[in-house]
Amino acid sequence: MRRQPERTDRSTVTCPRCGHREEERMPTDACQWFYDCKGCGAVLKPKPGDCCVFCSYGTVPCPPVQAGADCS
């Protein structure tokens, strides 16, 4: 029997500009399109093809994607 990976609402976002890392709670019912870096103030946006900043810059994808949804 194959075990499903555990879902989480926490992800560590890494800023591509300054490298600052911050653990954040992700919304469970929506994709977050913008994120203000707490290190340098840059406004992060999803990379092309990603639905949200957590899928682009987080350690785990957003909850809808974890659940198998196509969030793009």
Does pTM top 0.75 for this prediction? yes
What is the C-alpha separation between 55 and 16, in angstroms, rounded?
13
Instruction: Provide φ and ψ at 33, rounded to 5°.
Output: -85, -25
- What are the respective helix, strand and coil percentages of the chain, to the nearest 5? 10, 20, 70
Q: Could you tell me the two tokens for 44?
A: 């992060």
What are the residue boundaries of the structural domains of the chain, listed by start?
A: 10-66
Instruction: Name beta bridge partners: 11.
Output: 24
pLDDT in tens, 2-58: 555 688 999 999 999 999 999 999 998 778 999 999 999 999 999 999 999 999 999
3-state SS track over 54-72:
HHHHCCCCCHHHHCCCCCC
